[in-house]
Structure 1
Amino acid sequence: MNDDSYRDAEAEADCRSAPGPVTVTTVIAGVGVMVALTIWARLGARPAEPFLGLDIAAGVLSWALAPVVLWRPVPAALGLTLLALVSPAATPAATLAALLVAQRRGFRVAVAVGAAGIAAHAVRGVWRPIGGISYAWWLVLIVAGYGALVGWGALAQARRALVRSLRERARRAEAEQGRRVAEARMLERTRIAREMHDVLAHRLSLLATYAGALEYRPDSPPEQLSRAAGVVRAGVHQALDELREVISVLRDEDTADDQDPEGWPQRALADLPRLVDESRDAGGQVRLRDEVVDPDALPPAAARTAYRVVREGLTNARKHAASQPVEVVLEGRPGARFVIDIRNPLREGGAAAPITPGTGTGLVGLTERVQLAGGRLDHEVTAGEFRLHAWLPWPA
Structure 2
Amino acid sequence: MEMSWLLPAALSAEPDAPARRSTRDWVVDSLCFVLGFGFTVLATADLLGWSTGIVREWQPTAGWVVWVDGVLSAVAGIGLWWRRRFLWPLAILALVLSAFSVAGAVTLTIMLLTVAVHCRFPVLAAYAAAGAATNLIFAAARPDRTSGYWETVWWGVAIVLIIALWGMVVRARRELVASWRDRAARAEAEQQLRVEQARTLERTRIAREMHDVLAHRISLLSLHAGALEFRPDAPPAEIAGAASVVRATAHQALQDLRAVIGVLRTDQTGEEPAPERPQPTLSGLPALVDEARLAGDRVALDVQVDLGEVPAGTGRTAYRIIQEGLTNARKHAPGAVVRVTVDGACGAGLHIAIANPLPVGVSTRPPIPGTGMGLIGLAERASLAGGHLTHSTDGADFRLTAHLPWAAG
Q: TM-score, normalised by structure 1?
A: 0.79
CA deviations over 1:49-81 (Å, ceiling 9, x no partner): 553223322432343343464334345323322
| Structure 1 or 2: more helix by fraction | 1
- The answer for the alignment partner of 1:17 in structure 2 is 17
Amino acid at match of 1:370: A
Structure 2: how far apart are the matches of 1:237 and 1:70?
A: 74
Unaligned runs of 5+ in 2: 1-12, 50-55, 266-271
Shift of 1:248: 7.0
Residue 293 of structure 2 corresponds to residue 280 of structure 1: yes
Shift of 1:366: 2.3
- The answer for the alignment partner of 1:81 in structure 2 is 95
Helix, strand or coil: the match of 1:85? coil
Unaligned runs of 5+ in 1: 1-12
- Cα 1:343–1:122 change in 2 (3 A) is same
- 2:175 pairs, out of 155, 158, 161, with 161
Matches within 5 A, 1:1-396: 14-18=14-18, 20=21, 22=26, 27-44=32-49, 51-65=62-76, 66-67=79-80, 69-243=83-257, 246=260, 264-268=279-283, 271-284=284-297, 286-288=298-300, 290=302, 292=304, 301-332=313-344, 338-347=350-359, 355-381=367-393, 383=395, 385-392=397-404
Structure 2: how far apart are the matches of 1:222 and 1:350?
A: 28
Helix, strand or coil: the match of 1:16? coil
Percent of pairs identical after alignment?
Answer: 43
- Cα 1:38–1:298 change in 2 (3 A) is closer
Shift of 1:171: 1.8
Structure 2: how far apart are the matches of 1:346 and 1:227?
A: 29
- Cα 1:280–1:117 change in 2 (3 A) is same
- Cα 1:76–1:358 change in 2 (3 A) is same
Tell me the C-alpha RMSD between the 2 structures.
3.8
How many residue pairs are counted as aligned between the two chains?
376
Q: TM-score, normalised by structure 2?
A: 0.76
Could you tell me whether the CA contact under 8 Å between 1:74 and 1:113 is conserved in 2?
Answer: no
Shift of 1:372: 4.5
Structure 2: how far apart are the matches of 1:34 and 1:210?
A: 100
Shift of 1:294: 6.2
Shift of 1:355: 3.5
CA deviations over 1:342-383 (Å, ceiling 9, x no partner): 233444579999844333443333223433554321023465
Shift of 1:287: 4.2
Helix, strand or coil: the match of 1:86? coil
